[in-house]
């Protein structure tokens, strides 16, 4: 297996067949490994850019548009079960968009329709102006699912070689790109360690690296910090912010509201298949019927006279004035509780 591992290092040019063949020789139960590799590679290829090349493009006003999206499936009684109903939103270039909701609310279904993994019953989904049902709409999309499958007998570097070659990247370009990504996700020290020895946080970071190896313009992340310790979560959140700095648009699905609040520019709250709240995070978290004034070096007398002319008190700086902000968690509970009450009243 030594020769195969040397060839997986990225110094030479190997084919997908050679990678699978090397894995087959390395494991006594080769078929049990080779078949998942092939299936996983095929699934990834449907979402990844097939050829690694520089492209000139005109950025559309929206990276993704979802209009009147409906998705239903047959239920146990033969009646259609509506998982998503009349969902509409759009995502601007360079945004980090958070899609949040309780388990079973329809957020994962919405993401799968957007990625072309499910076909909408009604409505439209587009990515960079192309129907998301078309395979070519996913050329500029990277995807990290909630529970990615990793081939743990491969090293981090070999994993990136494997996915890079699926995207058509070869030779020096692949070697350089892998070096960039290992530095970005802070895994240079563990690049030649097998994934079996990686922590959950390290696995998620190598997963994020493979999702962006083909330089996508849109990255979709489903629960990227689930099961990761606080330190690992912090690193992943920093990586997400770094993607935005590079001009990459991110769609993030998570139930960890505090983390969504830290990184997202805009959020949509889905409850029982409906988009019940959507907008810029700063606007949604503003409490409209209250005003907050933040003062520096204010004496008790100034505080009592806060409604008077603050400018008449020398030495007091008016730093901010506006609506106080709630937390995303409190907003989420208020919106979903209100939607539940409306549903019960409608049923009555």
Between 201 and 327, where is the model more confident? 201
Can you give the pLDDT at residue 44?
45
The predicted model scores a pTM of 0.70
Average pLDDT along the chain: 77
Q: What proportion of the chain, given as a percentage, has pLDDT over 90? A: 35
| Residue 346: pLDDT band with limits 50, 70, 90 | very low
Could you give the 3-state DSSP secondary structure of residue 12? coil
pLDDT digits (tens, 9 = 90+) for 139-158: 899 999 888 889 999 999 99
Residue 85 near residue 273, CB atoms below 8 Å? yes
- The predicted pLDDT at position 7 comes to 47
Q: pLDDT, tens digit, for every residue of 44-71?
A: 444 554 444 444 445 567 889 999 999 9
Give the angle 11-184-182 at the CA atoms, nearest 5°: 30
- What is the DSSP secondary-structure string of 196-255? GG--HHHHHHHHHHHHTTT--SEEEEESTTTT--HHHHHHHHHHHHHHHHTT-EEEEE-S
Section 215-227 average pLDDT: 90
Q: What is the pLDDT of residue 9?
A: 47
CB burial of 261-283 (b: ≥16 within 10 Å; e: otherwise) equals bebbbbbbbbbbbbbbbbeebee
């Amino acid at each position: 297996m030594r020769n195969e591992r040397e060839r997986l290092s990225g110094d030479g040019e190997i084919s997908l067949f050679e990678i699978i063949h090397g894995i087959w020789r390395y494991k006594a139960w080769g078929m049990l490994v080779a078949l998942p590799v092939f299936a996983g590679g095929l699934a990834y290829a449907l979402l990844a850019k097939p050829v690694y090349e520089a492209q000139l493009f005109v950025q559309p006003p929206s990276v993704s548009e979802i209009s009147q999206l409906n998705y239903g499936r047959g239920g146990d009684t033969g009646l259609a079960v509506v998982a998503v109903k009349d969902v509409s939103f759009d995502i601007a270039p360079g945004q980090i968009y958070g899609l949040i909701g309780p388990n079973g609310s329809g957020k994962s279904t919405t993401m799968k329709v957007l990625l072309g993994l499910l076909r909408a019953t009604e409505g439209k989904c587009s990515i960079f102006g192309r129907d998301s049902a078309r395979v070519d709409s996913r050329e500029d999309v990277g995807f990290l699912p909630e529970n990615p499958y990793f081939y743990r007998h491969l090293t981090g570097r070999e994993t990136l070689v494997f996915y890079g070659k699926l995207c058509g990247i070869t030779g020096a370009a692949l070697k350089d790109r892998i070096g960039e990504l290992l530095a970005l996700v802070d895994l240079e020290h563990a690049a030649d360690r097998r994934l079996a020895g990686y922590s959950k946080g390290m696995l998620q970071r190598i997963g994020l690296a493979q999702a962006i190896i083909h330089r996508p313009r849109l990255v979709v992340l489903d629960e990227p910090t689930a099961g990761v310790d606080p330190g690992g979560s912090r690193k992943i959140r920093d990586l997400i912010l770094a993607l935005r700095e590079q001009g990459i648009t991110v769609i993030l699905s998570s139930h960890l509201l505090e983390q969504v609040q830290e990184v997202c520019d805009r959020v949509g709250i889905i409850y029982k298949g409906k988009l019940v709240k959507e907008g810029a995070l700063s606007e949604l978290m503003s409490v409209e019927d209250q005003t907050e004034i933040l003062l520096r070096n204010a004496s008790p007398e100034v505080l009592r006279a806060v409604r008077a002319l603050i400018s008449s008190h020398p030495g007091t700086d008016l730093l901010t004035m506006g609506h106080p902000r709630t937390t995303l968690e409190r907003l989420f509970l208020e919106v979903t509780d209100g939607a539940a009450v409306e549903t019960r009243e409608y049923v009555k």
